[in-house]
Amino acid sequence: MKYKTARTTRDVEALAAAKGLRVRYPQPNELFIDIDSAEAYAQFKRLREVFERGEPIVGTTIAASPSEAPGHYHAIVTLRRDVLPRERVMLQALLGSDPMRELLSYRRVIAGSDPEAVSVFFERPVLK
On whether residue 40 sits in a domain, the answer given is yes
On whether residue 2 sits in a domain, the answer given is no
Which of the four pLDDT bands, split at 50, 70 and 90, describes residue 5? low
pLDDT at residue 32, as a whole number: 98
Query: What is the spatial distance between Cα 88 and Cα 82, in angstroms, rounded to a whole number?
Result: 9
Report the domain count for the chain: 1
Query: What is the spatial distance between Cα 89 and Cα 97, in angstroms, rounded to a whole number?
Result: 9
Average pLDDT, rounded, for the chain? 92
Q: What percent of the chain has pLDDT over 70?
A: 94
* Whole-number Cα distances in Å, 64 to 9, 73, 81, 116, 118: 24, 4, 26, 22, 21
Residue 41 has pLDDT above 60, yes or no: yes
Which of the four pLDDT bands, split at 50, 70 and 90, describes residue 2? low
On whether residue 3 sits in a domain, the answer given is no
Residue 18 has pLDDT above 60, yes or no: yes
On whether residue 1 sits in a domain, the answer given is no
Q: Which domain holds residue 16?
A: 9-123
Q: Residue 95: which residues within 8 A CB-CB, separation 6 or more?
A: 31, 33, 44, 47, 48, 51, 75, 77
The residue-averaged pLDDT of 71-89 equals: 96
Which of the four pLDDT bands, split at 50, 70 and 90, describes residue 4? low
On whether residue 75 sits in a domain, the answer given is yes
